[in-house]
């Protein structure tokens, strides 16, 4: 069944439109309370709520609180907290479910809702369908004596900080490492500097002054240019950039070169092998660089591609009983350490490997060569699908012929924004760029004609 409201990562949209209005979010809270809490045995029905730093989070937090209370569910408020921290606390606080108020890497004027099961994992399709059905039902408020109560969790930050630190060996210290942290003016702004400082690193924090409007603005993993500059200016060993809700991470080496999620996956996989751990194989996505696939296979590991989206990476990991997977965007899942993508935890896995091997990030990534890859986002203005255009399909076939089996072409709609992503990958950088621009131009024309 096609879902009506849920996308690849929960529900997301511009604040004040569609489902992202206070009255709709209130009813969503009620629907979630009715569906998720009813799956937990016993009378302890409880949902935790956390958020990133965008200004609309206050409004939606209150709306969710009202809706959940109307469903007879207690609420525990975590405040600003990285998405993976909310997943962790959902599990450890023995809640029925967890809700994240965030639009991840989107601008401040967007917001969204992500949901976790009692196990701290993304919801199954069946549960999302049930929530959609309940959302369209008439809202019935429980008797006043059964309304849910709300409280704030005072030690949420400390719990999650200790959980992050526990994902690397006790003997690993980051003393002597000078690190620039870009917190994207988002959910990691307070927690991430504490994690790395407590482990002994010399931390220089940027993007750590959120004002409700500057989340993801010219900072973070989606725009690491400022981080690159600061790493060079400070003479730092490396830089780490998170996105607005802290489930993605990119890094910058001491040469100022950006290290994306594909390379970080490769480094983590190699680390696990050298520690004698059996991880089976690596799951990438349709967007993962061909160079990463080749390098992983050279390590003797299996490699498979899922659809784009961390939920699909997770599904394939569970299907194969593998432990490590992720996306080039830096959304990395280490199931041997946690239940969902976690930017801080992923960064710590890389740093632990650097300390154990006595090498720098630049050297650690030398075992993998990435193919030139160009991705162009083409905005959509209507409901038509330009990917069905005969002209667009012909341009893709022509590009594939020119790549002659030594590259890939991929067109896909974004799951979170009104965009068509055009990706071309191959050995010849000039050819790749030319083909990507040619296809993007055809997609734009087809979209405008429709």
| Residues 281 and 385 both lie in one domain | no
**Residue 166: predicted pLDDT:** 98
**DSSP-H helix ranges across 39-187:** 57-70, 83-92, 125-135, 156-165
Residue 163 lies in a domain: no
Q: Domain for residue 165, yes or no?
A: no
In this structure, the answer to whether residues 145 and 203 fall within a common structural domain is: no
Among 30, 54, 448, 425, residue whose Cα is nearest residue 213: 54
- 32 and 111: one domain? yes
Give the number of other Cβ atoms within 10 Å of residue 164's Cβ. Answer: 27
- The C-alpha atoms of residue 372 and residue 183 are separated, in whole angstroms, by 28
Q: What is the pLDDT along the chain (450 residues), one digit of tens a residue?
A: 678 888 878 899 999 999 999 999 999 999 999 997 676 544 568 999 999 999 999 999 999 999 999 999 999 999 999 999 999 999 999 999 999 999 999 999 999 999 999 999 988 889 999 999 999 999 999 999 999 999 999 999 999 999 999 999 999 999 999 999 999 999 999 999 999 999 999 999 999 999 999 999 999 999 999 999 999 999 999 999 999 999 999 999 999 999 999 999 999 999 999 999 989 999 999 989 999 999 999 999 999 999 988 889 999 999 999 999 999 999 999 999 999 999 999 999 999 999 999 999 999 998 899 999 999 999 887 777 888 889 999 999 999 999 988 889 999 888 667 889 999 999 899 999 999 999 999 999 888 876
Residue among 91, 160, 82 at smallest CA distance from 120 = 91
How many structural domains comprise the chain?
Answer: 4
Helix or strand (DSSP H, E) at 180: strand 178-182
Answer whether residue 115 is part of any domain: yes
CA distance 435 to 399: 6
Element (H, E) at 379: strand 373-379
pLDDT digits (tens, 9 = 90+) for 105-114: 999 999 999 9
Q: Are residues 284 and 407 in the same domain?
A: no
Q: Do 445 and 351 share a domain, yes or no?
A: no
pLDDT of residue 43: 53
Whether residue 295 is found in the same domain as residue 328: yes
- Residue 1 maps to a domain: no
The pLDDT assigned to 42 comes to 47
Q: Are 83 and 247 in contact (CB under 8 A)?
A: yes
**Which stretch of DSSP H or E encloses residue 400?**
helix 390-403
CA–CA gap between residue 359 and residue 242 (Å, rounded):
23
The answer to whether residue 377 sits within a structural domain is yes
What digits encode the pLDDT tens for the residues 81-126?
Answer: 999 999 999 999 999 999 999 999 999 999 999 999 999 998 888 9
Q: What is the pLDDT of residue 381?
A: 77
Same domain? For 265 and 356 the reply is yes
Which one from 69, 96, 102, 104 is the annotated catalytic residue? 104
- Residue 150 located in a structural domain: yes
Q: Tell me whether residue 366 is one of the annotated catalytic residues.
A: no
pLDDT at position 236, please?
A: 98
Which residue range(s) make up the domain with 387? Answer: 373-449
The domain boundary residue, chosen from 257, 273, 295: 257
Q: Kindly list the strands in the beta sheet with 332-334, ordered across the sheet, starting from the edge strand earlier in the chain.
A: 302-306, 281-285, 324-326, 332-334
For residue 219, the number of C-alpha atoms closer than 13 Å in the C-beta half-sphere is 26
Quick one: pLDDT at residue 232?
Answer: 98
Tell me, yes or no, whether 15 and 137 share the same domain.
yes
Q: Do 115 and 37 fall into the same domain?
A: yes
Residue 98: CATH number of its domain: 3.40.120.10
441 falls within a domain: yes
């Amino acid at each position: 069944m096609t879902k009506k409201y849920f996308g690849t990562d929960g529900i997301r949209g511009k604040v004040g439109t569609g489902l992202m209005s206070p009255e709709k979010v209130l009813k969503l809270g009620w629907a979630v309370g009715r569906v998720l809490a009813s799956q937990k045995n016993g009378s302890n029905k409880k949902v935790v709520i956390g958020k990133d730093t965008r200004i609309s989070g206050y409004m939606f937090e209150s709306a969710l609180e009202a809706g959940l209370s109307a469903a007879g569910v207690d609420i525990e408020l975590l405040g600003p907290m990285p998405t993976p921290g909310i997943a962790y606390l959902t599990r450890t606080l023995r809640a029925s479910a967890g809700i994240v108020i965030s639009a991840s890497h989107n601008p401040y004027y967007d917001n969204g809702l992500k949901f976790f099961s009692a196990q701290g994992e993304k919801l199954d399709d069946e549960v999302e369908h049930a929530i959609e059905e309940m959302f369209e039902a008439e809202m019935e408020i429980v008797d006043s004596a059964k309304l849910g109560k709300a409280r704030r969790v005072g030690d949420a930050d400390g719990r999650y900080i200790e959980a992050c630190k526990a994902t690397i060996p006790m003997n690993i210290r980051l003393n002597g490492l000078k690190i620039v942290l870009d917190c994207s003016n988002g959910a990691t702004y307070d927690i991430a500097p504490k994690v790395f400082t407590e482990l002994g690193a010399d931390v220089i924090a940027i993007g750590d002054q959120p004002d409700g409007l500057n989340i993801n603005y010219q900072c973070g993993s989606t725009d690491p240019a400022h981080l690159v500059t600061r790493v060079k200016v400070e003479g730092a060993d490396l830089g780490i950039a998170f996105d607005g809700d802290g489930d993605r991470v990119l890094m910058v080496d001491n040469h100022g070169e950006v290290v994306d999620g594909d390379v970080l996956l490769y480094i983590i996989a190699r680390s696990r092998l050298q520690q004698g751990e059996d991880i089976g194989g690596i799951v990438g996505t349709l967007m993962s660089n061909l160079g990463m696939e080749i390098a992983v296979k050279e390590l003797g590991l299996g490699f498979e591609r899922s659809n784009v989206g961390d939920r699909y990476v997770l599904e394939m990991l569970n299907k194969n009983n593998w432990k490590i997977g992720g996306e080039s965007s830096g959304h990395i899942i280490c199931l041997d350490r946690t239940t969902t993508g976690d930017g801080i935890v992923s960064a710590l896995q890389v740093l632990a490997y650097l300390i154990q091997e006595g090498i720098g990030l630049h050297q650690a990534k030398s075992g993998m060569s990435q193919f030139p890859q160009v991705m162009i986002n083409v905005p959509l203005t209507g409901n038509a699908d330009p990917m069905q255009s005969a002209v667009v399909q012909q341009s893709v076939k022509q590009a594939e012929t020119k790549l002659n089996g030594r590259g890939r072409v991929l067109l896909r709609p974004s799951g979170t924004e009104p965009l068509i992503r055009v990706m071309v990958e191959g050995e010849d950088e000039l050819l790749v760029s030319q083909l990507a621009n040619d296809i993007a131009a055809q997609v734009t024309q087809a979209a405008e004609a429709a």
